[in-house]
Amino acid sequence: MTPYLLFKLAGKPFAISFQEVEEIQNAKKGTPMPFSQPWHEGMITVRGSLHTVLNVRRMLDLSPLEQPEQDKMILLSRHKVAILAEEFADTLMVGEADIQENDGAQKFDPMVFPTLAASGESMIPLLDVDALLALSKAEA
């Protein structure tokens, strides 16, 4: 069983492996970077280190159901990147039998979300951080 952190984007649940999460903070406004994609929210400083802020909701073209009071951000453990999220729902323990390939029927990029986890009646897209960052650099 692998532990995942459930988070929401535009009211929809997604999950990221706990191994990828360094910490969670309230979001900070980033310093914009010229010539960047609209979903690059700029750069922030966290304890003296620069982090790139990525708005995955905007990248996936998801409209928020309502503007959250305060977005949160997930600081990644292996990279100097922060991912914006609306809220954190819970944790999810996922076994191999609960995971299936993303065939694209969920309308989420199978490259960034290559697998889905069964949780009750729903399927939760599992974020592949390396694929997200590769896409981010390729389109930057």
Number of H helices, E strands in the chain: 2, 11
- Using pLDDT thresholds of 50, 70 and 90, give the confidence band for residue 24: very high
Question: What tokens were used for 18?
Answer: 């706990």
Average pLDDT over residues 18-41: 90
Is position 137 within any domain? no
Is position 135 within any domain? no
The pLDDT score that the predictor gives to residue 75 is: 95
pTM of the model: 0.87
Please give the single-letter amino acid code of residue 107: K
Is position 109 within any domain? yes
How many domains are contained in the chain? 1
Is position 133 within any domain? no
Per-residue pLDDT tens over the stretch 115-139: 999 988 889 999 999 999 888 775 5
CATH number of the domain bearing residue 110: 2.40.50.180
Per-residue pLDDT tens over the stretch 40-78: 899 999 999 999 999 988 888 887 655 556 789 999 999
